[in-house]
Structure 1
């Protein structure tokens, strides 16, 4: 059984590589001189790394496809401040010879404990109808088995097994801290929005070997899927108030905040504003945490990361974070102890 002896984040420039990776993406391209090459993203549970097949592309490319496991022989180089593997040779590896859990990143929290915490959310709300709606999902074993494993996104935030349920629990925790400062905001509605805003991602995404969109995800998207699922469950709860149903559905439809960001509706209730901004905060900070944790950037000891394409900026890691993660104990003056509590 092939296991990952050394994580991708530990690979150094100039290091020889001879190990198994999961192929997360594959694209056949042509150089300016007209020579074929293959651009790859290779992954394990610690992250992913770019790779290129410059020589023998026509020979090596037919041996594998996306989501295959391959044994790569090559060398680690650097391109624009980020590590990259130049592949010299490779062989396909049968799935039954691989410990799949070694190749997908996963939450550090127990999936079963998070599932139990998800169910306990129902006990924290006063509205009997919202409680019944949450329990209609929490008591569905087949659904919960999928929710426990789903990532929260393909590439932006909480991109790991258990990422979606962790994101939901984080949002509910944030809501409990924030809502008491605004007594005119309905706390039960905010909790409902935190629970259901991304629920459709359970079906929008695929997460068996790599993280990608399902056919349903491509054609419908998680907002439409979640809206449909929640509406169906509401209809199964006797006496579910029409106004409450409408307000919860609005939370799902408006959580992206702006029309240009894929939101069918902009927030039009206080609760929708809260859910949108908490969701955005939680997602952005997880993306920042993950990017900073990946390693030093182009300027080496300057403490800057490579350019973050989605956020459109470089990020400053700070001297105490060079070579490490946000999340170790200690404050901003913690020296080698790093930053504050992470995920």
Structure 2
């Protein structure tokens, strides 16, 4: 019986039941009642790339064990996995706690995903280094220096797309690749501004969707919940800009376009990237770069 990731099991189960081991973290444990008022337990289990729900009925031999689990627990689930009307499900299953070594290996994620995210991160940093406008390059480099570690363990979303540790790195890198490909076709685009906008457009998700260093449970952050990632991104850019502009006042004084115009245009890219106010943007895209960023973002999210 093979050790598999949840995504691999989900894919294989499309063609029929598959027997496998999977290593996961317990994300949540919720007591429930059936229509007949019989107790059962609902576990949400997560690995580096996916999650599933396991319902533990009160007559299962592991019911008491599973009911006592917490989101600090890491387990091996051995089962026959299949697709039910509710999604991926398991039968004939057993659980055991992971060893410390198994836990550490799980937290590192699969080797192919680690390699992809490392390459994506290198692409992001190299792309930032090629920005010609010293204000935008300085802003991006300051952001990565201060928040790079958190960035690399942030998901791009909770459920919709790139919903995994490091997903924001994958999403950002792919958006930058698309931007670099289309920029020569549309001379009106300021590529420096577009690349900086791509880096910062979801920067607020470092507070909405960051995962801890030692787990896959995406906890809710008060700042992220009360303010939202667009507002946080605007605040973050303004804070970094104030600091850098004070340190580089003389060097920035005679740059064109004016520094205030650059700041406002970058803020517009962040504020407008959802495209429409009904989808959470405080303003609709009004510049070529804002329009391009919105469609690149939407394209990568839908095709992931």
TM-score (norm 1): 0.71
Q: Does 1:66 align with 2:64?
A: no
Matching residue of 2:3: 5
Number of aligned residues: 280
Q: What 5-or-longer segments of structure 2 have no aligned partner? A: 253-258
Tell whether the 8 Å contact from 1:51 to 1:86 is kept in structure 2 after alignment.
Answer: no
Tell whether the 8 Å contact from 1:107 to 1:162 is kept in structure 2 after alignment.
Answer: no
Q: Does 1:276 align with 2:294?
A: yes
SS of the residue 1:85 aligns to? strand
Query: Which structure's residues are more often helix, by fraction?
Result: 2
Q: What 5-or-longer segments of structure 1 have no aligned partner? A: 287-343
Aligned ranges 1:148-167 → 2 under 5 Å: 148-167=152-171
Q: Does 1:244 align with 2:241?
A: no
Structure 1 window deviating more from structure 2 (69-78 vs 240-249): it is 69-78
Rounded Cα–Cα distance in structure 2 between residues aligned with 1:231 and 1:259: 22
Tell whether the 8 Å contact from 1:23 to 1:68 is kept in structure 2 after alignment.
Answer: yes
RMSD: 2.9
SS of the residue 1:263 aligns to? coil
Q: Does 1:121 align with 2:101?
A: no
Matching residue of 1:49: 52
Tell whether the 8 Å contact from 2:48 to 2:216 is kept in structure 1 after alignment.
Answer: no
Rounded Cα–Cα distance in structure 1 between residues aligned with 2:67 and 2:29: 11
Aligned ranges 1:289-308 → 2 under 5 Å: none
Matching residue of 1:107: 113
Structure 1 window deviating more from structure 2 (15-24 vs 182-191): it is 15-24
Matching residue of 1:147: 151
Rounded Cα–Cα distance in structure 2 between residues aligned with 1:18 and 1:183: 53
Aligned ranges 1:230-241 → 2 under 5 Å: 230-238=237-245, 239=249, 241=259
Q: Does 1:193 align with 2:197?
A: yes
Rounded Cα–Cα distance in structure 2 between residues aligned with 1:108 and 1:72: 23
TM-score (norm 2): 0.79
